[in-house]
Structure 1
Amino acid sequence: MPTIQTKKRVLVTGGAGFLGSHLCARLLQEGHEVICLDNFYSSNEDNVLALQRHSGFRLLEHDITFPVDVKVDEIYNLACPASPVHYQRDPVQTVKTNVLGALNVLELARRCNARVLQASTSEVYGDPIVHPQPESYNGNVNPIGVRSCYDEGKRCAETLFFDHHRQYGVHIKVARIFNTYGPHMHPDDGRVVSNFFMQALQGKDITLYGDGQQTRSFCYVSDLIDGLVRLMASPDWITGPVNLGNPEELQIRDLAERILAITGSESQLRIEPLPENDPLQRKPDITLAQSLLQWQPRISLHDGLRMTHPYFAGLTQDA
C-alpha cells in the first residue's frame, strides 16, 4: 500500500458515484482533505452521506462540463455515467462530459500544478480481436454506434490527457478500468452484476443477452480503488495507460448461476438478443499494473459477490 507523505487536498469528480464514493472514503481514511464534485446525474448523495460528517470532506454540486476553480494537489477525474442505460440516455451530454470534462480538469491541473488521473475504461478496446487486452492494443471501436458516445468520448479524453502532458507538461495518470462491482452500484444501471442481483432478489427472470457465453472479468471495488491510489502515487514517468481489473474470466451465464446460488433465488434464465456492439470478450492483461504498481486483485469473485449481496438485499427490502 502506498505510504502517505503529506496531507493533500484532493478533488474527486464524480465523487458521489459508485467508484467515486469508495475513493473518497479511502482518501479520507488516509488523512487527506477531499472535495467531492458531482452533479448527481447518475449518482446518489446517499453514497457519501456518512462522509459528510467528516471534517475533511466537502461536497460540491457542479457539472464538470463547466470550469471549476478550486485549489488542489491531486485530481481524480471519474465524472461520467459509466453504464449503457445512463450514458445512452443523453449521448450528447455524455460526449461533453468526457471531452469538456477532461479539458476542464486538465486546465485546473495545469493552473494548480496538480497531478490528474483520468478514469478511462476497457471500452476503449471496443469489441476486441486481441485477447486478453494489453495497453498496447489500439482497439476495435465503432465510432458511430449507440455506445460510441462513451467509447469514443473516453478515447478522446485519453488523447487530451496525453496532448496536455506533451504540450504543457501536465502530470497525468490514465487508468483503463475493467468491469468493477460492489456496494453503491446503482440498482438500475443496466450492468450485469446489478441486473442479476436485483432480478434474483425480486424473483424475476434473469436476463441473459445472446447465448450467455460472452465473457467478462469482474474486479471487486476495494481492489480497483487500491489500484487507482497506487497509480496516483507512482513516479511521474508512469503516465499509463494502465489496465486495472481482475483477469479471472468467466461466462455471463456462469455469473448468473453464481448469483442465483448466493441469493437462493428460484429465478429462471431468459434469453434476449445481444445489444449492438456489445463485446463478446473482455479480459485485462494486468502485466503493467503488476510490474509498475505491484498491484493485483486480492478478492476472488466468490468472496466479492458474497460481500456485495447484503447491499442489494437491503435495496430490495427498502423498496
Structure 2
Amino acid sequence: MSAINPDPIPEPTPEEVARGLAELERHIASQAPAAPTPAESPGATRRVLRLRAEVAEAHQLADLQADDTPLMLDTPKVRKRRKQAQEAARLHALAQDPEMRAWQAARMRRLLVTAALVSLTLALAWSTAGVQAFAADGADLWSPGWVFAWLVEPFMSLALLVVVGARAYMGTRGQPLNNPILTKIEWLFLGLTLGMNAWPYLPWGLPDGTDFTVSRLVLHVLGPVVAVAIVTALPIILESFARLDHGADGTPTGPTYRANAPAPDALIARARHLMATGQLPAAAGADKIRRALGCGMDTARAVRDALRYDPTTGKD
C-alpha cells in the first residue's frame, strides 16, 4: 500500500503577506495597554494638573477671543439708548406736524386765558376790601351802608368781566374788538376801582394822626394795577394766537405773505422738476413744498407763490 502525499501548500502572494502583517499590527495594538492621560502620567502633581488646565483654558480663550461676533451684538445699554433716540426723533417729527402744532397752540391759548381770567378775578377780589372801606365811609359795622358797600366792587367787576370776556372770545376767533367805546368802559371801571382803593390811603385821605406810607398805598392798589395789566395784555395775546399759521394746507391764516423774501432760483427749478416728474402735485401747498425741498416754511411759501405767479398776466 503506497503512502498518500498531501498537496503542497501554495506560496503566499505579496498582497496576502502585507494584509496579514496589517492584521497582526492591529491585533497587537488592541491588546497593548492604553497610554496614560496627563493626569495619570508619572509626576502629575496637583500643581502640574492645575497649570495644564490653565494652559488648556488659555488656548481655548485665545481661539474664542479671535471671534468678533459678540462685539457686533447690542448691549442692553445700547438698545436702551437707541430706543430713546428713535423716540426723540419721532417726537420731533410729530411736533412739526400741522395738526400737532395747532393742538399745542390751542392748548397753550386755553391755559393762558384760564390763568389770565383767574388772575383778573383774584385781583378784583383783592380790591374788594379797599372799595368797601371807601364806599362804607365810616358806617357802623353791619349797618345797611356797611353791608351794601361790599356789593360795589362785585357789580363793577362783573361788568368789567363781561367786556373782557367778550374781547377775549372774539380775539380767539380772529375778530378782535377794538371798539373805542369798549376801551373807555374798561378804563372807566378800572379807574374807579383804582381810585376807590387808593383814596383812603393818600395823604389827604388819611385820618388825623395817621402817617402816610408808600407801602400801604402800593399794597391796596396792587389789585387794580394787575387788573389793568391783564385787561390790556390779554386781547393782544389772543389776537396773536389767531394769526398763527400752522401750515396745514399752505394757506396763511393771517395777512398774506407776498412780502416774503424771493425764493432762490435753484429751489424753484427743483420744485418745477418734481412737479414735472409727478413727485410733487401741481397745486402743492407750502407744507408739501417744504417737505419735498427740505426748506423753511417762509421759503416754501415764497416758492409756492413763485410757481403760481403767471408772468404773462402778472397775476397768480
**Greater CA radius of gyration, 1 or 2?**
2
In which range does the TM-score fall when normalised by the shorter chain? under 0.3
Bigger helix share: 2
Q: TM-score, normalised by structure 1?
A: 0.21
